[in-house]
Structure 1
Amino acid sequence: MTFADKVITFNKELNLPDTVQLPKNIAIMNPFKDNGKETVKLSTEFYKRYFSDHKKRHLVLGVNPGKNGAGVTGIPFTSPQNLKESCNIFCEQNHHEVSGAFIYRMIKQYGTIEDFYSKFFISNVSPLGYIKRNENNEEINKNYYDYIDLMVSTTPFIIETLKKQIEFGIYTDKVFCLGNGDNYNYLYNLNKEYGLFDQVIALPHPRYIAQYKRKQETKYIDLYLEQFKSI
C-alpha cells in the first residue's frame, strides 16, 4: 500500500470508541461519517495526488478538525477554498478557514505543494472534532482539551490513532506540534509516558497567529520554515 492508501483507509475507519462519554451538549464531528461521499471523494483525490508513494514523512499535529476545514474536506488545515485555489481540486462548497490560509501561505514560501507534502504529513492530536451549539444554535468548534473528562477518556483513542499513523511511514525523531500551549503540554506529557517520538517541537498555532499576530505573519512563517527546512 502507498502512503495515500494507508491514510485513506485510516480515515474511512475512524470512529470514536463507545467507551468515550461526551460532555453535555457536545457532539462528535467525524467528517467521513457526517458528510459521507463528498468528504471521502475530496480527501481521496488530495491524498492520491500528493501521497501516492512510499516515502517517509515527518508528522505535523494540530489540535482537532475544524468545522470549516477538515470538517468539510477531511484534510487537516485544508478548507474548500484551499483545495480550489492551491490544489486545483474542485469542491462545491466554499468555506474559508484562517488556519488553513496561513498554512498554505507558509507552504508557498516553503516551495511547491508537492515539495512540502513529500516531506510532511499534517494531522491532529485528535483526528476527530467536537462541536457545541451556542444559544443561537450556531455550531462552535471545541477542543479535546477543553473538558478534562473528554481529554482523559479520549487518551487511549489518541494513542491508538497516533500509533496507526506512525505506521503510514512516519519519522519518529521529531514531531511538530501546532500550538505551544495546551496542545503542546498534552502531547509532550503523552509522549513522555509512551515514547512515540524522540522530540516534540512546538510551533505557534496558525489560528493564534491569524487572530492576534496577523501583522507579524512573516516572522511566524519564517519560524515555521526554519524548523521545517532543518530536516
Structure 2
Amino acid sequence: MNTFADKAVAYYNSLAAPTNLPPDIGVMNPYQEPDVKAIVAEFYTKFFTDNTPRVFILGINPGRFGAGVTGISFTTPQNLRRYCGIENDLRDTPELSSRFIYQVVDAFGGAKDFYARFFLTSLFPLALTKATLGTGPKNYNFYDDRATTEALWPAIADTVRTQLEFGCNRRVAICLGRKNETYLRRLNDKQGFFDRIVTLDHPRYILQYKSKAMPAYLESYIATLHECTE
C-alpha cells in the first residue's frame, strides 16, 4: 500500500502551471526543479511514511518566498533546516507566515509531533504573483480578482479532492484566513469534503497587523490544534 508520503511526492511532482490565468498573473512551479524534488522527497519520507490520517490545515495559495521556493507549505529554506532537519542550498527568504507557523510547530512539540498529526497545504498548490510596474512581482491570492478565482476554481476543487486521498481525517479541517474561509466553505458545501471547518486568523495577518498580540494568537493556535486531534 502506498504511504501518505508516496502519494504526496507523486502529486507534487506531477503539478503543472495553469494556462488560463489573466495575462498579468504569474505562477511559480518549483516542483520542476531538481533541488526541490529532492527536498519534497526527503521531507515527506521523513515525516509522512505511514498511512495515518492527518488533520488538514489549509491556507490560500503558497507565497513566493515559502513553498514557492521550497515546495513545502509555509516553509522557508532556513526553517526547513532549523526545524525540519533538512539541509538545503536554497537562499534564505523572508516569509512572515513561515515564521509564525514554525513557532506553532515548535510549541506543539516539534516537527515530528506536528507532522504526525497535521498536513499543511493550500486550496491552490502553486504560488501566484502579479506583475507590478517598477517593483517586480508581488504575492497574489487566488481570490484577489474574480477572473483568477473563476479560472482556478476547478483546479482548487481537484487539489483538495486529490489530497484527501493522501490520508485525511475528514472530521475536521483547519482553515487559515477569514476570507479564505468563505471559499473553503463554499467548496465544502458543494463537495462535502469535511464534516467541520475551524478557522484561524492567517499567520501573515497576525505578524503584519497584530504582532503585539502574537503570544495570544500562538496560544489560540495550539489550543485549536489539540482540540482538533482529541
Is 1:109 aligned with 2:107? yes
Aligned letter for 1:48? T
Out of 201, 206, 211, the position equivalent to 2:203 is: 206
Kindly indicate whether the alpha-carbon contact (under 8 Å) linking 1:179 and 1:204 is maintained by their aligned counterparts in 2: yes
**Residue of structure 1 equivalent to 2:42:** 45
1:3 & 1:195 partners in 2: Cα distance?
A: 21
2:97 & 2:79 partners in 1: Cα distance?
A: 11
How far apart are residue 63 of structure 1 and its match?
0.6
Kindly indicate whether the alpha-carbon contact (under 8 Å) linking 2:83 and 2:110 is maintained by their aligned counterparts in 1: no
Partner secondary structure for residue 167 of structure 2: coil
**Residue of structure 2 equivalent to 1:29:** 28
Kindly indicate whether the alpha-carbon contact (under 8 Å) linking 1:176 and 1:202 is maintained by their aligned counterparts in 2: yes
Identity rate of aligned residues, in percent? 38
Matches of residues 64-143 of structure 1 in structure 2 within 5 Å?
Answer: 64-92=61-89, 93-143=91-141
Partner secondary structure for residue 52 of structure 2: coil
RMSD: 1.2
**Which digits, 9 at most, give the CA deviation of each residue in 1:153-173, with x for residues without a partner?**
211111111111101110111
How far apart are residue 219 of structure 1 and its match?
0.5
Kindly indicate whether the alpha-carbon contact (under 8 Å) linking 1:173 and 1:198 is maintained by their aligned counterparts in 2: yes
Unaligned runs of 5+ in 1: none
What TM-score do you get using the length of structure 1 for normalisation?
0.94
2:63 & 2:41 partners in 1: Cα distance?
A: 19
**Residue of structure 2 equivalent to 1:6:** 7
More deviation, 202-211/107-116 = 107-116
How far apart are residue 137 of structure 1 and its match?
4.6
Partner secondary structure for residue 138 of structure 1: coil
Kindly indicate whether the alpha-carbon contact (under 8 Å) linking 1:16 and 1:157 is maintained by their aligned counterparts in 2: no
**Which digits, 9 at most, give the CA deviation of each residue in 1:128-174, with x for residues without a partner?**
22112221252211000011111112111111111111011101111
Aligned length: 226
**Which digits, 9 at most, give the CA deviation of each residue in 1:36-78, with x for residues without a partner?**
1111111211111111111111100011011111011100100
2:111 & 2:84 partners in 1: Cα distance?
A: 8
2:135 & 2:205 partners in 1: Cα distance?
A: 25
Out of 186, 193, 198, the position equivalent to 2:183 is: 186
Kindly indicate whether the alpha-carbon contact (under 8 Å) linking 1:81 and 1:96 is maintained by their aligned counterparts in 2: no
2:18 & 2:28 partners in 1: Cα distance?
A: 13
1:157 & 1:25 partners in 2: Cα distance?
A: 19
More deviation, 127-136/215-224 = 127-136
1:134 & 1:41 partners in 2: Cα distance?
A: 32
Kindly indicate whether the alpha-carbon contact (under 8 Å) linking 2:101 and 2:203 is maintained by their aligned counterparts in 1: yes
Unaligned runs of 5+ in 2: none
How far apart are residue 209 of structure 1 and its match?
0.4
Partner secondary structure for residue 166 of structure 2: coil
1:16 & 1:200 partners in 2: Cα distance?
A: 28
1:129 & 1:222 partners in 2: Cα distance?
A: 28
Partner secondary structure for residue 174 of structure 2: strand
More deviation, 124-133/114-123 = 124-133
What TM-score do you get using the length of structure 2 for normalisation?
0.94
More deviation, 151-160/87-96 = 87-96
